[in-house]
Amino acid sequence: MTFLKSPTVAATAVTCPGLGYLATRAPSVDTPEFAFGEEANVNRRILITYATRAGSTAEVAAAIGETLSARGYVVDVKPVKQKPDLTGYAAIVMGSAIRMGNWLPEAVDFVKRNQSALNQVPVALFTVHMLNIGDDETSRTARLAYLNAVRPLLNNAEEVYFEGKMDFSRLSFLDRMIARMVGAVEADRRDWDRIRGWVPAALG
Ligand SMILES: Cc1cc2nc3c(=O)[nH]c(=O)nc-3n(C[C@H](O)[C@H](O)[C@H](O)COP(=O)(O)O)c2cc1C
């Protein structure tokens, strides 16, 4: 199964602008913000920023926040769309869902716009996706390619990949059609023990 853009569906959406708008309008999704802990020494403050379309990456970000908070860090969890200020954090954890083989555009843009600030602190990246989950070489290569747009911009950022969730009720009509056409099934494959057990090496 592969998520390639469907020329027929995309062409229909483009040639009928009103229809295109309706087809791409997704149900509203929560992009919550959390703060774990209070004022602390800058060495203990961590920002977790995330990009989501259907909400599952936001829930993963919140779980990582809880883990780091339990380790004594003061953690802010914020959506990338809020363009969080990176000043005052000892480390940044950034995550995105995958769509069509890439991190979401707002997450890639955030890295581009904040490249120099990001390269002054340890950065760890988490990716939430459904395909290419095996340990074989083909899967691994395809999985690593999800970060091709951001990896070259960062100095040795740690990377982790988590299986995500496919929930058709949270997709736009167009995305739901694409998902059905490629044979995607609804499933929540998030491994919460693995997610909650992840601590970026720089913070371990
Ligand atoms: C239209 C569409 C395209 C997707 N493309 C990919 C993909 O190329 N590779 C992949 O591993 N997962 C792909 N996924 C799966 C999502 O990355 C996965 O469902 C993820 O948990 C979504 O995160 P979110 O709920 O935060 O948006 C796709 C999902 C949709 C709906």
* C-alpha 195 – ligand 1 centre gap (Å): 17
190 within some domain: no
Range of the domain at 103: 30-167
- CB distance 118 to 111 below 8 Å: yes
186 within some domain: no
Nearest residue CA, atom 1 of ligand 1?
Answer: 175
Q: Is the CB of 61 under 6 A from ligand 1?
A: no
Q: Is the CB of 77 under 6 A from ligand 1?
A: no
Q: Is the CB of 171 under 6 A from ligand 1?
A: yes
175 within some domain: no
* The total number of structural domains that make up the chain: 1
Q: Distance (Å, rounded) from C-alpha 135 to C-alpha 21?
A: 39
Q: Is the CB of 176 under 6 A from ligand 1?
A: no
Q: Distance (Å, rounded) from C-alpha 191 to C-alpha 197?
A: 10
Say which CATH number the domain at 122 has.
3.40.50.360
3 within some domain: no
Mean pLDDT of residues grouped by 10 in the chain (204 residues)? Answer: 54 57 79 77 88 97 97 96 96 97 97 98 97 96 98 97 96 90 91 98 92
- 3-state SS record for the chain: CCCCCCHHHHHHHHHCHHHHHHHHCCCCCCCCCEEECCCCCHHHEEEEEEECCCCHHHHHHHHHHHHHHHCCCEEEEEEHHHCCCCCCCCEEEEEEEEECCEECHHHHHHHHHCHHHHCCCCEEEEEEECCCCCCCHHHHHHHHHCCCCCHHHCCCCEEEEEECEECHHHCCHHHHHHHHHCCCCCEECCCHHHHHHCCCHHHC
Nearest residue CA, atom 29 of ligand 1?
Answer: 99
Q: Is the CB of 79 under 6 A from ligand 1?
A: no
55 within some domain: yes
Return the best residue to mutate from 130, 132, 138 for the ligand 1 pocket (most ligand atoms within 8 A of CB): 130
* pLDDT score at 16: 57
* pLDDT score at 146: 98
116 within some domain: yes
* pLDDT score at 197: 98
Interstrand relation of 74-79 and 45-51 (parallel, antiparallel or unpaired): parallel
Nearest residue CA, atom 31 of ligand 1?
Answer: 175
Q: Is the CB of 143 under 6 A from ligand 1?
A: no
* pLDDT score at 8: 47
